[in-house]
Amino acid sequence: MPTVTMIGGGQLARMTHQAAIALGSTLRVLAAAPGEPAAQVSPNVVYGSHDDIDALREAARGSHALTFDHEHVPTEHLEVLVAEGVNVAPPPQALIFAQDKLAMREKLSSLGLPVPAFTAVDSVADAVKFGDEHGWPFVLKAVRGGYDGRGVWMPASADEATELVADQLAHGVRLLAEAKVPLKRELSAMVARSPFGQAATWPVVETVQRDGQCAVVIAPAPDLSEELAARAETMALELAAGLGVVGVMAVELFETHDGEVLVNELAMRPHNSGHWGMDGSRTGQFEQHIRAVLDYPLGDTTPLAPVTVMSNILGAAEAPEMSMDERLHHLFARMPDAKVHLYGKGERPNRKIGHINILGNDVEFVREKAERAATWMSTGVWTDGWDSHGE
């Protein structure tokens, strides 16, 4: 049975490992340290850096496919691996558009896809000019390396932009500017594509961001018109085929007040907006990703309930006194239907340490319950005032 190598030892690799077990595959991970979420659970770990070609080579040796839990591997290294016969999935010529937000913006606009107005920022003057032309605040982004809102700023004035841009450029960070989109909400269209060319979609979901970081996902996106859902899905499928994506891809979208969707960014790996499917879809993204990179036929993605809400468990500002284990006891006592996924990570403020999926019929009800459960796990406080030790 095959071995798949995943570069990166985070929670995405950990949950991919979980899916690999059922398929009889082995997930080998390239991790930086034994404490990382996937390194804790995989018996097949190579330690090293994703920047080190020798570590990548060692991780790839004998593996049927090499894939990723983040987008930080230099494509130069991946080109070398491909030349040496490694099956890199997604291939570097596709992955570049998930790594480099400027290359992605340029590619998508050349394909005629809707994106916010944008420009490269090579100087303070570029940024101030963009703000003056497109309005303040605008959105300043690191071209590479950002995640969970790290690498995204919204300078409200020329002074603020000047300070930010000068500081980032001095640290060698490449930047782009884009217009701040007046959002109705954010959506994500997730697809999978195999080398054979088979593709599968999940329903378009709504993603709720807090401090630039995904907090809640509602599947499917409530009250999304069929027309807009179909447009988003078609866009994601066409992009996956056009870019030659192998594996799962999330297309992060902005829905505007006038019923348009703009592409925010692409992720060519399992993505937070797909976690709901671990419990809410016949085939979740982690299994689908393995199927796709190994060129198995893809799985049925039918939702298992009218609504699934995923709520991230984020590290609290101050970790509660009650242990995680005890919080879990109380959660299960109160909500036997809550599906909990913990990542084996220490509790640090705002860090994603797990998530909870709740399935049901009514969006408001299910969402409140999922958020209440996740807040409990984060803080040890029930937002509805319930006393866990009460009579």
Query: In the complex, which residues of this chain contact Mg ion (CB under 5 A)?
Result: 252
Burial class (CB in 10 A: 0-12, 13-18, 19+), 169: middle
How many helices (H) and strands (E) would you count in the chain?
Answer: 12, 17
Ligand-binding annotation for 381, yes or no, is no
Which of 40/109 has CB closer to ligand ADP?
109
Residue 146's binding partner, choosing from ligand ADP, Mg ion, none, with beta-carbon cut-off 5 to 8 A by kind? ligand ADP
Burial class (CB in 10 A: 0-12, 13-18, 19+), 359: buried
Which of 27/267 has CB closer to ligand ADP?
267
Which of 198/209 has CB closer to ligand ADP?
209
Binding flag, residue 186, ligand ADP (CB under 6 A) = yes
**226-243 and 92-99 helices cross at what angle (nearest 10)?**
130
Helix-strand-coil split of the chain, %, nearest 5: 35, 25, 40
- Give how far the C-alpha of residue 137 lies from the chain's centroid of Cα atoms, to the nearest Å: 25
Binding flag, residue 100, ligand ADP (CB under 6 A) = no
CB 118 within 8 A of CB 105: yes
With tokens 């409140």, the residue in question is: 368
| Shortest reach from residue 251's CB to Mg ion, in Å | 11
Which of 18/109 has CB closer to ligand ADP?
109
Interface of this chain with ligand ADP, residues 1 to 30, rule: CB under 6 A? none
* 59: number of Cβ within 10 Å: 25
| Shortest reach from residue 235's CB to ligand ADP, in Å | 17
| Shortest reach from residue 201's CB to ligand ADP, in Å | 20
Interface of this chain with ligand ADP, residues 115 to 154, rule: CB under 6 A? 116, 139, 141, 146-149, 151-152
Q: CA 104, 149, 143 angle in degrees (round to 5)?
A: 30
CB 67 within 8 A of CB 247: yes
Ligand-binding annotation for 312, yes or no, is no
Ligand-binding annotation for 181, yes or no, is yes
Which of 179/331 has CB closer to Mg ion?
179
Which of 26/272 has CB closer to Mg ion?
272
- How does 33-44 read in b/e, with b if 16+ C-beta sit within 10 Å? eeebbbbbbbee
Ligand-binding annotation for 139, yes or no, is no
With tokens 């896809």, the residue in question is: 113
Ligand-binding annotation for 369, yes or no, is no
Nearest residue to ligand ADP, scored by beta-carbon proximity:
181
Considering only 40-48, 55-63, 174-182, 191-199, which stretch makes contact with ligand ADP by CB under 6 A?
Answer: 174-182
CB 31 within 8 A of CB 8: yes
As a whole number of angstroms, the distance between CA 119 and CA 251 comes to 21
* 230: number of Cβ within 10 Å: 12
Interface of this chain with ligand ADP, residues 191 to 250, rule: CB under 6 A? 209, 212
Ligand-binding annotation for 184, yes or no, is no
CB 200 within 8 A of CB 301: yes
| Shortest reach from residue 267's CB to ligand ADP, in Å | 8
Residue 72's binding partner, choosing from Mg ion, ligand ADP, none, with beta-carbon cut-off 5 to 8 A by kind? none
Ligand-binding annotation for 103, yes or no, is no
Considering only 166-174, 181-189, 217-225, 286-294, which stretch makes contact with ligand ADP by CB under 6 A?
Answer: 181-189
Binding-site sequence positions for ATP: 101, 141, 178-181, 186, 264-265
Binding-site sequence positions: 101, 141, 178-181, 186, 264-265
Residues that bind ligand ADP (CB under 6 A): 116, 139, 141, 146-149, 151-152, 178, 180-181, 183, 186, 209, 212, 252, 264-265
